[in-house]
Amino acid sequence: MAKKTLKDIDVKGKKVFVRVDYNVPFDENLNITNDTRMVRTLPTINYLLDNGAAVILACHIGRPTEAREDKFSTKHLVKHLSELLKKDVKWAADCVGPEAEKAAADLKPGEVLLLENLRYHKEEKKNDPEFAKQLASLADVAVDDAFGVSHRAHASNAGVPKYIETVAGFLMEKEINYIGNTLEHAQHPFVAIIGGAKVSDKIGVINNMIDKVDTIIIGGGMAHTFDAAKGLPIGESLCEPDKYDLARQLLKKAEDKGVKVVLPVDLVIADKFAADANTKTVPVDQVPDGWQALDSGVKTSEEYTKALAGAKTVIWNGPMGVFEFDAFAKGTLAVAKAVAKATEEGAVSIVGGGDSVAALKKTGLTDKISHVSTGGGATLEYLEGKEMPGIAALADK
């Protein structure tokens, strides 16, 4: 079902409620350490301003308690947002009630107002109808540009559309097009790379991908659960013994469907979990007791690279090792290079999930990928094929 987007509505002279995902990281002095999520919403905000709208921004930061801790206040975003937009951003000390209502009523076309943290009200996460109605009453129409929370049915994204027309912003539209359309109409060969620590976090993704892809690369900590399920020694490596049966079932399902599964053939092992650990590279069936695998080896990287050669669609979620330590980042870097090369040769590539995005950033290859998703959990659930309440609530074309 096609959803309405920003260009399907007339915003001139209107007050527009825009749900954004500004849940950005801060340092101890409340300086923003990564503003990617803010930067990605600028095309939507600038389009609205250029087309004569008054823009009311709503977002959440962190998980505040009833105490409304100051560190979660959106006022800490105002200065940087003003710099990004090159105009003064107004701020309201609440997101509903008299202060928010007055600030919204006074807002003129071409002006921007940022509301206080939505999650200072527990009604936001409960998708409380009365709270959603109060938010909606501030504006004439709504734009949802917060893909990162679209897997949650909250008042600001799933509730507001019941009261005012809500369309996708440019960032949301891009996420839906890239992830949704790519999954539905993928070009083959289609390769999925699933890494990260735990199988339990990615069961749904692996299961859904086996139905769609030609090849699935399994790396990172979760590969040890598959190896152990096959009876290989894994030493002290991260592992989920309660997932052995599941790992075997997934391998069997892939085999039945003719999907090639690529697992590590060699591993970089360490005598402790530390940046300065003693390391050596061993074949996958020769991990000694007392040692743990923290990265894939050179031969594995060659196998992964070979599996990605000629791919037309690539989806990557999760790093290949403990990339935070330079000694164990080589496997992830090798995959990033291979995905970048496939993209250069015409593949559509999507990287999603918090760790994958951070790992990709470290490799310096972010701009060589077709689409880097802003959602963490949202991207995972979208890749699993689950219905996303925030997307479902958008107006249909």
- The pLDDT score that the predictor gives to residue 209 is 92
Please say if the pLDDT value at position 397 is more than 60: yes
DSSP code for 47? H
What integer best gives the mean pLDDT of the chain? 93
Q: What's the average model confidence in pLDDT over 81-97?
A: 97
Of the residues 37, 40, 174, 202, only one is catalytic, namely 37
Q: Is the pTM of this model over 0.85?
A: no
pLDDT digits (tens, 9 = 90+) for 27-41: 989 999 889 899 999
Of 65-79, 124-138, 181-195, 379-393, which range is least confident? 379-393
**pLDDT for the residue 126:** 96
Express as a percent the part of the chain with pLDDT over 90.
Answer: 80
Please determine, for residue 354, whether its predicted confidence score (pLDDT) is greater than 70: no
pLDDT of residue 199: 85
- pLDDT one-digit tens code per residue, 334-350: 999 999 999 999 999 99
pLDDT greater than 80 at residue 265: yes
Give all strands of the β-sheet with 112-114 in edge-to-edge order: 89-91, 112-114, 54-58, 15-19, 141-144, 166-168
Identify the three-state secondary structure at position 230: coil
pLDDT, tens digit (0-9, with 9 covering 90-100), for 154-174: 999 999 999 999 999 999 999
List beta partners, residue 192. Answer: 216, 315
pLDDT score recorded for residue 1? 54
Query: Which element (helix H / strand E) includes 245?
Result: helix 244-257
State the pLDDT confidence band at 23, using cuts at 50, 70 and 90. Answer: very high
Is 352 one of the annotated active-site residues of the chain? no
Give the pair of three-digit tokens for residue 365.
């290859």
| Residue 202 bears catalytic tag | no
Contact 225, 243 (CB under 8 A): yes
User: φ and ψ at 281, to 5 degrees?
Assistant: -105, 130
295-307: average pLDDT: 97
- Give the tens place of pLDDT for each residue, 234-256: 999 999 999 999 999 999 999 99
Choice among 148, 354, 375, 390 that is catalytic: 354
Q: How do strand 260-262 and strand 215-218 relate by DSSP bridges?
A: parallel
356 pLDDT above the threshold of 70: yes
**Which candidate in 133, 198, 260, 341 is catalytic?**
198
State yes or no: is 37 an active-site residue: yes
Summarize pLDDT for 192-219 with one digit per residue, the tens.
Answer: 999 988 888 888 899 999 999 999 999 9
Domains of the chain with bracketed CATH = 6-170 (3.40.50.1260), 178-383 (3.40.50.1260)
Q: Is residue 147 pLDDT above 60, yes or no?
A: yes
The crossing angle, in degrees rounded to 10, of helices 222-229 and 199-210 is: 80
Two tokens at 327?
Answer: 């000694």
CB 161 within 8 A of CB 17: no
- Collapsed DSSP state (helix, strand, coil) of residue 9: coil
